[in-house]
Structure formats: structure tokens, C-alpha cells
């Protein structure tokens, strides 16, 4: 399997990493909109320090994904794994069909992107052949 992988060319980014970049940008933009709109979670406004830290980390991860850095893909996979864990654990506890479908959709979407990022990570860390 590893023999069939082709190292990345200069400036090349696998499709899965590009999709991950755009997902990160959308999450970053959604977080910024929610933070500036003054949303409340369980009747309380989240602390600004947490919003700032999350925004900076997501922006740094988006930059790393755009540059096809291994650590950025690994970090996103960690977030996807947490999303799959949360959705998978909430699926059997869903109160209605809508909640179950939402949990299943999150589980499938996160799992699919996670799967495609595994091969992309192998290509990113692959040394050049001589």
C-alpha cells in the first residue's frame, strides 16, 4: 500500500486537506459571527478569553491545512474524533428522529473526512523517493 503512494509535489495539497481547510474556515467564521452577535449558552455568555483562544487556534490550524502541514491535519483529526465520539454516544440516547438523524449525519460526515485524511497524512509525511 505504501509503495503505491506518491509524495506531494511542491505546493500540492490533497483534496481531503482542501476540504478540511474549508471546513475549518467555515467553523472559524461561524464562531466569529456567534461571538460578535453576543450569543448565550445555557443563559450565560461564554468568556471572551475562550472565544479568542479558539479563534486563534482555528486560524492557525486553517493556515497549517492550507500549507498541508502534518500537525494541522493531525489536529483536525483529533477534533473530528471528538465529534465522532460525541455523535456516536448521543445517537442511542436521541429523544426524537430529528436528533438521531443529526447525530448520524455528524458521525458519517466526520468519519468520512477522517478516513480520507488518513491517506493524505501518509502522503504529507512521506519522504521523497530517490
Residue 100: inside a domain, yes or no? yes
Predicted pLDDT of residue 75: 94
Structure confidence at residue 87 (pLDDT): 94
In a domain, 8, yes or no: no
| 118 vs 112: CA distance, rounded Å | 10
The DSSP 8-state label assigned to residue 34 in this structure reads: H
Contacts of 24 (CB under 8 A, 6+ apart): 58, 61, 62, 65, 76
- Within the chain, which residues score under 70 in pLDDT? 1-5, 7, 126-130
In a domain, 4, yes or no: no
- Domain count across the chain: 1
Residue 110: inside a domain: yes
Res 128: pLDDT: 55
Cα angle 56, 37, 99; round to 5: 85
Range of the domain at 85: 13-125
Look at residue 40 and tell me if it is in a domain: yes
Amino acid at each position: 500500500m505504501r509503495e503505491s503512494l506518491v509524495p506531494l509535489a511542491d505546493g500540492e495539497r490533497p483534496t481531503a486537506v482542501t476540504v478540511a481547510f474549508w471546513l475549518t474556515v467555515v467553523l472559524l467564521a461561524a464562531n466569529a459571527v456567534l461571538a460578535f452577535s453576543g450569543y448565550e449558552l445555557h443563559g450565560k455568555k461564554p468568556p471572551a478569553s475562550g472565544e479568542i483562544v479558539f479563534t486563534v487556534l482555528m486560524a492557525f490550524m486553517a493556515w497549517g491545512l492550507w500549507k498541508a502541514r502534518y500537525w494541522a491535519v493531525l489536529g483536525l483529526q483529533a477534533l473530528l474524533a471528538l465529534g465522532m465520539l460525541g455523535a456516536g454516544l448521543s445517537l442511542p440516547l436521541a429523544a426524537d428522529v430529528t436528533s438521531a438523524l443529526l447525530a448520524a449525519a455528524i458521525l458519517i460526515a466526520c468519519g468520512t473526512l477522517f478516513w480520507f485524511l488518513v491517506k493524505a497524512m501518509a502522503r504529507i509525511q512521506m519522504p521523497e523517493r530517490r
